[in-house]
Amino acid sequence: MTPPLPPSRDAARRERVTRRRRRTVATAAACLSAAAMLLAGVGIFAGAGEDPSYAAEAPTAEASSTPSASPRPTSAATTEPAAPAFCTDDVTEAANAGVADALAEAAGGAEALREALVDGDASDCVDLADPTAQWALVNKRQSVDPIDYAPSVVVPATYSPVGGQLVPDAAGALDALAQGARDAGAGEIALSSGYRSYDDQATAYQSQVDALGAEEADLTSARPGYSEHQLGLAADVVACDAAGCGTIYDFGGTAQGAWVQENAWRYGWITRYVGEGTSETGYEPEPWHLRYVGTALAEAYVEGGYATWEDFLGAPAAADYE
């Protein structure tokens, strides 16, 4: 048992206990008061949207001593800037000149040009039906326009047993190709057939009809007015050796034919008709039929793995005459 404290110490102890109790009560009262005020404030704010009188009692921005915060700017809808028009003055000028390499350069590259053609962005300045343009499209759905078009042609330096002709740029490109094959040790290449007039093509087509019938002839020869040869941009080539030159039908199996398949694009030529493209072009494979399109487009054509000029240009297939 704890011994009783002396009277003086007991009185002091009671005084300390009393003071502690008073402080505790005061603290509790203060806490209760603060809590009540807080709850009252929450109630006021919660009811502000419902009680119209609150808005009238709330201090205005002018009366408030606290500066109001600047309103947060609203984010305006951003608009992407319009893409620049493809048909700039430079592109239009190059397109009017009809030179494929110049057009590709003005367009920002061959692939950019191809995309513009496919998307239709180039339709206002690049005419695929222009017979003077190196990219001209002629097939069973699109004839040469005008139908009797006749370009200015020259005789290339490359040997031709029939005196074949081509437009100047194509003639120079064929000479470079033949020299390239010679330098590579692949052998000699000759021009079997180049430019053909409308009348010449009519004769060539009729000879095929007489020999094969109309249906078969359409697989191997274009009708007059529908031949790339009329543009002066197509060359049928043959392989030659010391014994002479072979036929176009032999070309694919020669060293020259193999070299051309790998390297013609370097000189601006593509093989126009291949087996994978028959369903689109309507022509059987012709490894001897080269088409001049310029070095930039020829490179893009080969690198892109295209089988037809129609596909490269984004044009519809033309397996049959309309």
Q: Give per-residue pLDDT as tens, 200-236.
A: 999 999 999 999 999 999 999 999 999 999 999 999 9
Count the residues in the chain.
Answer: 322
Average pLDDT over residues 109-123: 97
Q: Examine residue 115 and state whether it is found in any structural domain, yes or no.
A: no
Backbone angles phi, psi at 59, to 5 degrees: -65, 145
Percentages (nearest 5) of helix, strand, coil residues in the chain: 50, 10, 45
- The domain tally of the chain equals 1
Q: How far is CA 44 from CA 50, 259, 266, in A?
A: 10, 91, 84
Residue range 254-268: mean pLDDT, rounded? 98
DSSP 91-133: HHHHHHHT-HHHHHHHTTSHHHHHHHHHHTTTTTT--TT-TTS
Exposed/middle/buried for 92, CB within 10 Å: 0-12, 13-18, 19+? middle
Would 43 be classed as within a structural domain?
Answer: no
Compute CA distances 47 → 38, 76, 221, whole Å. Answer: 14, 33, 90
Q: How confident is the model at residue 167 (pLDDT cuts 50, 70, 90)?
A: very high
Asked whether residue 22 is assigned to any structural domain, the reply reads no
Quick: pLDDT tens for 284-294: 999 999 999 99
Average pLDDT, the chain: 84
- Residue 214 belongs to what domain range? 140-290
pLDDT at 84: 75
* Percent of the residues in the chain that have a pLDDT greater than 90, as a whole number: 74
Query: Cα 19 from chain centroid?
Result: 89
Q: Which of 160, 175, 137, 80 is nearest to 291 (CA)?
A: 137
- For the record, the structure tokens of 302 come out as 């080969």
Residue 60 covered by a domain: no
Tell me whether residue 74 is in a domain.
Answer: no
Question: Among 8-12, 272-276, 278-282, where is mean pLDDT lowest?
Answer: 8-12
Q: Where are the beta strands (DSSP E) in 161-214?
A: 188-193
Report if residue 184 sits inside a domain: yes
Task: Name the residue with tokens 């409308």.
Answer: 198
- Asked, for residue 71, whether it belongs to a domain, the answer is no
pTM more than 0.95: no
CATH number, domain with residue 245: 3.30.1380.10
